[in-house]
């Protein structure tokens, strides 16, 4: 079974520039998550999709971050403009069911390491 795919793996940009990350979840997984992981901390949920609808984006900094999941499959996360504090690993995960309940195993991609200079 193919895992969660993410690209690019690494990205270096200057502050105030824009950047986009792409995620392809496991086939058939209805739920897709984007997390931000700052060095030394656990992943922090940014946004959660169920099919192509947003079910939780309460922790997404909407003034600069946006995400979409067209056709309920692939997803993109964009930052515009980037700030120094956005330097982190951005993880995409998918699951068959909503997180927290029985059988909610989330499968994570390798992440994109973003460095903002």
Partner 1 sequence: LAKTTQPISMDSYEGQEVNITCSHNNIATNDYITWYQQFPSQGPRFIIQGYKTKVTNEVASLFIPADRKSSTLSLPRVSLSDTAVYYCLVGRDGGSTLGRLYFGRGTQLTVWP
Confirm or reject binding of residue 42 to partner 1 (CB under 8 A).
yes
Measured in degrees and rounded to the nearest 5, phi and psi for residue 19 equal -150, 150
**Given 27, 41, 53, 71, the residue binding partner 1 (CB under 8 A):** 41
Q: How far is the CB of 19 from partner 1 (least distance, A)?
A: 19
Q: Which is nearer to partner 1, 27 or 41 (CB)?
A: 41
Site for partner 1 in 54-83 (CB under 8 A): 55-56
How many helices (H) and strands (E) in the chain?
A: 0, 11
d(CA 61, CA 101): 26
Residues 47, 31: Cα–Cα separation, whole Å: 11
- The contact set with partner 1 (CB under 8 A) reads 4, 35, 40-45, 48, 55-56, 91, 93, 98-111
């Amino acid at each position: 079974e193919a895992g969660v795919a993410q690209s690019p793996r690494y990205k270096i940009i200057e502050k105030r520039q824009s950047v986009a990350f792409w995620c392809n979840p496991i086939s058939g997984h209805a739920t897709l998550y984007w997390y931000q992981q700052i060095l030394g901390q656990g992943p922090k949920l940014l946004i959660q999709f169920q099919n192509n609808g947003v079910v939780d984006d309460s922790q997404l900094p909407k003034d600069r971050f946006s995400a979409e999941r067209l056709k309920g499959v692939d997803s993109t996360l964009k930052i515009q403009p980037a700030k120094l504090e956005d330097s982190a690993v951005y993880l995409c995960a998918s699951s068959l069911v909503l997180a927290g309940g029985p059988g909610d195993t989330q499968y994570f991609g390798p992440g994109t390491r973003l460095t903002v200079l």
